[in-house]
Amino acid sequence: MEQYQFSYQLVEGVDALSSSDASLLRSAQAATALAYAPYSGFNVGAAALLANGAVVQGTNQENASYPVGICAERVLLGNVAMQYPGQAIVAMAISYRSVKRSSDQPISPCGMCRQALVEFEHRTAAPIRLILGGESGQVMIVDSAKLLLPFAFSPRELNGR
Ligand code: THU
């Protein structure tokens, strides 16, 4: 039997993070105020630290035609690609605020966003460190988005390399 395993880090809270990680998570928390999520009441905020030191945010943008809505992570990737073409993302923090539950534990990106994150890693040849946390509670750190998507479909599959 083959096995896939990966390691991640659990940190007690935002105050136990390095100052750079803590400020990125705080930026993601603050970004939730800019989400447009009237249908789910689930505001997601993401913030990315780029290789050039810039920080870019993204939030989920919903639509009355529900499937048209787009997640915070993919809004963020589009923002980065447009504002800083070619720049790698060193780390991305993801947070949320919900009308239905307390924001006291990490959430991790949906399957579609994992696919998009993995492609961005390929495109810039750099892993994206994920910092996942709510407004309070433990913070989860994953060293690369690709760890969350084993056997991902990638550009390599298209040309057999
Ligand atoms: N959502 C995100 O923006 N990112 C995630 O990682 C999970 C889900 C959004 C999509 C939708 O607007 C709302 O959260 C509820 O699913």
Q: How many residues does the chain have?
A: 161
Protein residue whose Cα sits closest to atom 6 of ligand 1: 109
Output the pLDDT for position 132.
Answer: 98
73 counts as catalytic: yes
Going from the Cα of 71 to the center of ligand 1, the distance in angstroms, rounded, reads 5
Q: At what angle do helices 111-124 and 72-83 cross, to 10 degrees?
A: 20
70-to-36, 53, 66, 87 alpha-carbon distances in Å: 10, 26, 9, 22
pLDDT tens string 42-93: 999 999 999 999 999 999 999 999 999 999 999 999 999 999 999 999 999 9
Going from the Cα of 159 to the center of ligand 1, the distance in angstroms, rounded, reads 32
Q: Which atom of ligand 1 lies closest to the CA of 75?
A: 3
pTM of the model: 0.97
Output the pLDDT for position 79.
Answer: 98
Going from the Cα of 160 to the center of ligand 1, the distance in angstroms, rounded, reads 33
Output the pLDDT for position 159.
Answer: 86
The structural domains of the chain, with segments of one domain joined by +, span: 20-138
| pLDDT over threshold 90, residue 141 | yes
Q: Distance between CA atoms of 130 and 116, rounded to whole angstroms?
A: 14
Q: Residue 121: CB partners within 8 Å, gap ≥ 6?
A: 127, 128, 144, 145, 146
Supply the CATH classification number for the domain 20-138. 3.40.140.10
Q: Distance between CA atoms of 24 and 43, rounded to whole angstroms?
A: 17
Output the ligand 1 site: residues, CB below 6 A: 37, 40, 42, 44, 60, 62, 69, 71-73, 107, 109-110, 113
Q: Distance between CA atoms of 5 and 151, rounded to whole angstroms?
A: 12
